[in-house]
């Protein structure tokens, strides 16, 4: 049984666990602190994705050395394998995966969206086939919350309906209304008050629906809000426009999370709008395919011209890979299919983003974020293959 002090701390964090530390005077960028049951998270922040309770190829100790403060795991995948019962018996997700820092779990809404040929969505929930064995699964908002309560993540997400792009207004409205109703049911089912519950604002690319969805969810008084349904194929400028519009209806004092975004350009643009949290599989997926970030753009490590490049991926980088290995050696690892190559490029990409975010926080604290963003974007050419 928790003490009165413990209870008060939990209640305070549930009401508003987020504190704004500093705002940039010339943009919407801000520095904040998010308090969770497993520690504080400095924002803006990028969350590496550990879908199966692991960030592919990397150990928790390596993630800590990179500077990761919070990671994302996926409730849908962990429900299928090994099952929430196993993880709960192990002491929860933190114990199971040997990670003592904050964890956010995705509800499975995006995975349901990606299984469009295998699922049927009604107001009651989503029925779909497992991508592993074809087993029929029926996921309700209540079951999604029960699963995440059992996993024990610090931040859990409401079940939502993510729609395809483009999507007609009529269906986008149906999905938006369903997402709002599911949010109410998720909140009612939420049993573990040490976990922060965030809803997902949907509405496609329709500004009126984004406004209505945000207003409905804000009425419920959640401790933070996610913007979902972006980075699903729309033009970059449209993503920024819809994100900026949606932010107008989220209280400034609440933490704001843009789901599925991890391109360096997008991170800086959206930090400038006032987004606090990000996640994406792209940095580590690209790394495993041999593509790494540099300040001048992307670099393909397998290119033949790197065969005698005995310098690091990037001379200015302080990551473990760049401090100890040459690009020629990493190219050799990829060409011989050695796992170490995937590990080194994954370390580099996550370190790159972590340092980029850290530099952005410093720039915000000194009221020079726009100059920092401009300088970075002027030299970062994504289409350039070094």
pLDDT in tens, 203-226: 999 999 999 999 999 999 999 999
Distance of CA 340 to the CA centre of its chain: 25
- 382 pLDDT tier (thresholds 50, 70, 90): low
Q: Is the pLDDT of residue 231 over 80?
A: yes
Q: Per-residue pLDDT for 267 more than 60?
A: yes
**Confidence band, pLDDT 50/70/90 cuts, at residue 45:** very high
Span 113-138, average pLDDT? 84
Going by C-alpha positions, the residue among 352, 344, 347 that lies closest to residue 328 is 344
Give the pLDDT confidence score for residue 11 in this predicted structure.
Answer: 41
- Contact yes or no for 45/358 (Cβ under 8 A): no
| Rounded CA separation 50/47 (Å) | 9
Mean pLDDT of the chain: 94
Q: For the chain, give the percent of residues with pLDDT over 90.
A: 88
Using pLDDT thresholds of 50, 70 and 90, give the confidence band for residue 62: very high
pLDDT higher than threshold 70 for residue 343: yes
Q: Please report the pLDDT score of residue 8 as a whole number.
A: 37
**pLDDT for 332:** 98
Q: What would the mean pLDDT of 334-340 be, rounded to a whole number? A: 98
List, edge to edge, every strand of the sheet that includes 200-201.
45-47, 277-279, 255-258, 224-227, 200-201
pLDDT tens sequence across 129-178: 888 888 888 999 999 999 999 999 999 999 999 999 999 999 999 999 99
Q: Which domains does the chain have, with CATH numbers?
A: 16-280 (3.20.20.105), 291-385 (no CATH)
Going by pLDDT thresholds of 50, 70 and 90, the confidence category of residue 40 is very high
What pLDDT is attached to residue 130? 84
Average pLDDT value for residue range 250-256 = 98
Tell me the mean pLDDT in the region 47-52: 97
Q: What is the mean pLDDT of residues 39-67?
A: 98
List, in order, residues 6 or more apart from 160 with CB less than 8 Å away: 107, 109, 179, 182, 183, 199, 200, 202, 228
Helices (H), the chain: 4-15, 60-66, 75-80, 84-89, 93-97, 109-114, 141-151, 169-189, 207-219, 236-247, 264-273, 282-288, 320-324, 327-335, 339-365, 369-379
User: pLDDT tens across 288-321, in order?
Assistant: 999 999 999 999 999 999 999 999 999 999 999 9
Catalytic hit among 24, 106, 263, 276 = 106
- Per the CB < 8 A criterion, the answer to whether 276 and 24 are in contact is no
Catalytic residue among 150, 266, 276, 279: 279
Does an H or E element contain 257, and which?
strand 255-258
In angstroms, the CA 213 to CA 217 distance is: 6
Residue 106 annotated in active site: yes
Output the pTM of the full model: 0.94
Query: At residue 3, does pLDDT exceed 70?
Result: no
Does pLDDT of 334 surpass 80?
yes
Look at residue 12 in the predicted model and tell me its pLDDT. Answer: 42
Average pLDDT over residues 104-119: 80
CA distances from 92 to 55, 154, 380 (A): 17, 11, 41
Residue 113 pLDDT = 77
Return the pLDDT at 250: 98
279 is an active site residue: yes
> What pLDDT, on the 0 to 100 scale, is given for residue 383?
67
- Tell me the average pLDDT across 271-287: 98
């Amino acid at each position: 049984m928790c003490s009165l002090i413990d209870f008060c701390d939990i209640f305070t964090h549930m009401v508003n666990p987020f504190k704004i530390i500093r705002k940039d005077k010339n943009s919407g960028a801000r520095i904040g602190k998010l308090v969770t049951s497993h520690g504080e998270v400095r924002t803006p922040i990028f969350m590496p994705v550990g879908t199966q309770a692991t960030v592919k190829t990397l150990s928790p100790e390596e993630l800590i050395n990179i500077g990761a403060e919070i990671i994302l795991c996926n409730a849908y995948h962990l429900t299928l394998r090994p099952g929430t019962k196993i993880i709960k018996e192990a002491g929860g997700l933190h114990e199971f995966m040997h990670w003592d820092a904050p964890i956010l779990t995705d509800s499975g809404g995006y995975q349901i969206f990606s299984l469009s040929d295998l699922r049927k969505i009604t107001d009651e929930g989503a029925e779909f086939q497992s991508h592993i064995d074809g087993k029929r699964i029926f996921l309700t908002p209540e079951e999604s919350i029960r699963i995440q309560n059992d996993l024990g993540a610090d931040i859990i997400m409401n079940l939502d309906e993510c729609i395809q792009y483009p999507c007609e207004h009529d269906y986008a409205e149906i999905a938006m209304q369903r997402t709002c109703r599911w949010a109410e049911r998720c909140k009612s089912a939420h049993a573990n008050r040490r976990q922060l519950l965030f809803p997902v604002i949907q509405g496609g690319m329709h500004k009126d629906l984004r406004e209505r969805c945000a207003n409905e969810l804000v009425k419920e008084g959640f401790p933070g809000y996610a913007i979902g349904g972006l980075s699903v194929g729309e033009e970059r400028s449209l993503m920024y426009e819809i994100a900026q519009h949606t932010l107008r209806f989220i209280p400034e004092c609440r933490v704001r999370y843009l789901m599925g975004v991890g391109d360096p350009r997008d991170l800086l643009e959206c930090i400038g709008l006032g987004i606090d949290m990000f996640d994406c599989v792209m940095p580590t997926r690209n790394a495993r395919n041999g593509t790494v970030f540099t300040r001048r753009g992307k670099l393909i490590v397998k290119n033949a011209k790197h065969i005698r490049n005995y310098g690091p991926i990037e001379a200015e980088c302080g990551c473990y890979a760049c401090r100890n290995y040459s690009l020629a050696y990493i190219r050799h690892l990829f060409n011989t299919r050695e796992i170490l190559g995937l590990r080194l490029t994954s370390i580099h990409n996550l370190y790159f983003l972590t340092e980029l975010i850290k530099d952005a926080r410093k720039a915000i604290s000194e009221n020079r974020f726009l100059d920092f963003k401009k300088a970075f974007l002027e030299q970062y050419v994504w289409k350039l293959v070094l």
